[in-house]
A = this chain, B = another copy of it.
Amino acid sequence: MPIVKVDLFKGKTRDQKREIAEALTDAMVEKAGSSRAAVWVVFNDVEKEDWAFGGELGVDKFPDK
């Protein structure tokens, strides 16, 4: 039943998403008692220019090297 929505910077590979989704689901099953099939995880890939911290865009604060 739970919905777990994750906003994170763009750039994770599909394999990383597999692992993250599985670990988040495990967390909900083990700690919240959720039925496994009922856990939905949705990723929202956010561009660095679409996230600001203290008024500064991620693209400025964390520039690609």
Contacts and interface: CB of A to CB of B under 8 A. Distances in A.
B57 A51 contact: no
A1 B26 CA distance: 20
B23 A31 contact: yes
For chain A, the bracket of interface size reads: 35 or more
Contact of A42 (B7, B17, B32): B7
Contacts of A64: none
Interface string A25-61: 1111011101011111111111001111111111110
A8 B14 contact: no
A18 B14 CA distance: 29
Contacts of A44: 44, 50
